[in-house]
Amino acid sequence: MPLITQARLLEAIQVRLEDLSPAFLAYDTDNGKYKLPVQGLYIMLIFEKKNSNIFTTIRRFTPQKYEYFSSKRGEKFKIEIEGSDKVSVNATEGVSR
């Protein structure tokens, strides 16, 4: 199976951690491996890999980050695979369409 190295940002949505389900938080944090506070404002990023394979990740909210990601909807980003299945988004470096 070829290594996926980029994904297209479909959407950036403001979310409150306390409004997300325990199942989603377990998914996003690799069952608690990555620590998050109990509450707070974050940005949910929805990406599309090849073949309409969707994944999400959340990032700490700042007005600047939200504006940046919102302005980059539809653009491709570099992604990196950590370990066997954890996807990391290098969200500061867009790639050409």
Supply the pLDDT for residue 33: 87
CA 97 to CA 93: how far, in whole Å? 13
Convert the pLDDT of each residue in 24-75 to its tens digit: 999 888 888 888 999 999 999 999 988 788 989 999 999 999 999 999 999 9
For the chain, give every domain's residue range. 6-95
Average pLDDT over residues 1-13: 84
- Extract the tokens encoding 58: 């959340």
Supply the pLDDT for residue 96: 46
Alpha helices, DSSP H only, in 1-97? 22-28, 63-71
| pTM for the predicted model, two decimal places | 0.81
Report the length, in residues, of the chain: 97
Average pLDDT over residues 79-97: 57
pLDDT at 82 over 70: no
Of 36, 40, 95, 43, whose CA–CA distance to 69 is shortest? 43
CA 79 to CA 38: how far, in whole Å? 27
